[in-house]
Amino acid sequence: MNRRQLLGSAAALLAQTALPWATAHGKKARPENKDVLYGHSTLPAGIRSKRVNTNTGTTLHILEAGYGRRASPCVVLLHGFPELAYTWRNQLLPLAQAGFHVIAPDLRGYGQSVTRPVQYEDDLLPYSMFNRVSDVVGLVRALGHETVAAVIGHDWGGPTAQWCARVRPDIFRSVVSMSTPFLKPPTAPLGAPSERRSSEVETDMDKELAALPRPRKHYFTYSATSAANDDMWRAPQGVHDLLRALFHFKSADWEGNKPFPLASWSASELAKMPDYYIMELHKGFSETMAAQMPSRQHIANCAWMKEEDLRVYSTEFSRTGFQGGLNYYRVANDPRLGTELKAFSARAIDVPACYIGGDRDWATYQSPGALEDMRNVCSQLVSVRFIDQAGHSLAEERPQEVNAALLDFLDKTQRAEP
């Protein structure tokens, strides 16, 4: 059976049947997986852990499936914040069954890739975008792959995947961004400063948000502060309940998530988003999330994030803290670490690309105009897919639908392969 037939068979199986591992939380207990460093009771056989020296100054822990087959093409799954490789637990086996070697790392600063908690005072340079791309390149090469069939990223993993494809299209043959639309690189403006239009002057959005009748602040700015890590790591309700509220608040389960396009990058428009994006000026993450803690009944009924799944996240973040992930926001807020990206000003992503969003996910619209501009960012935007009844954690909330979308995209982009 060739690769296209494998992809077709996998997609057909997903369309006709429930995921076989989705019954893991039923009456019959799954045998413990001793090949993984976390998720022993939840990750099925066929998924294993491995630590890989990337030759970029870090060793990354990965979950992988479809290993041990010579010449299998590679798919890389990049998680977001506050997530782990575990975020892709429902994608690893289906993609492996379609003939791929599937690699999901705990990214720099996360999970089992962290040997000691990251401190705010630690060097920020290793978290720059180019260093994060280098981590992925080093990882796949260390595993014996010269090319990657698809790099797939969610949330912060989306921009990293996008830059992998923009910088090294010879390695990353296609790209999927989930939740985060494809974004333009930083722009080097045309013309001398004196010749630019007044409309090009940057807005002090933090100042404008603070001046609203209901004073607000942008979560992005707050995430880059020295206070954010302690606020989350030492939350009065504990890391477990903090994460439960956060995942719930951003999911389709929270009835307030009914996103729509925003008219402009202005304080009055941004303030239409929920408090997890545009926060109360004088509240931190822990207080914001405490107000949205779901009921015990909801927690008991939440099929996509069982307590044993959430325990994987809370155990890891309780050990490491959140500073590693928060450093991604700091990098984006530090102009010293973004100047080199202007070398790619106006450079499109030239490999086949796919965007997948949840119809209840505000991330699609948090950068006004980005969704509409994706065809200018990607020269080969193959598909734009929205998953019904999916919020921000769409790969976990609606795994079958996401898997079908990924397999469909891979089928389209792998047809020329033998």
Q: Is the pLDDT of residue 239 over 90?
A: yes
pLDDT of residue 225: 97
CATH code for residues 3-187+338-413: 3.40.50.1820
pLDDT of 15-24, one tens digit each?
433 344 444 4
pLDDT of 251-266, one tens digit each?
999 999 999 999 999 9
Cα separation values, 323 from 135, 243, 246, 351, Å:
18, 15, 17, 33
pTM of the model: 0.93
Average pLDDT, the chain: 92
pLDDT of residue 190: 78
The DSSP secondary structure of 236-263, one letter per residue, reads: TT-HHHHHHHHHHHTSTTSTT------S
pLDDT of residue 203: 73
Q: Indicate the pLDDT class of residue 80, thresholds 50, 70 and 90.
A: very high
pLDDT of residue 23: 41
pLDDT of 205-214, one tens digit each?
999 999 999 9
pLDDT of residue 6: 56
The DSSP secondary structure of 273-340, one letter per residue, reads: S-TTTEEETT--HHHHHHTTPPPHHHHHH-SSS-HHHHHHHHHHHHHH-SHHHHHHHHHHH-GGGTGG
pLDDT of 112-130, one tens digit each?
999 999 999 999 999 999 9
CB atoms within 10 A of CB 297: 8
What is the residue extent of each domain of the chain? 3-187+338-413, 203-324
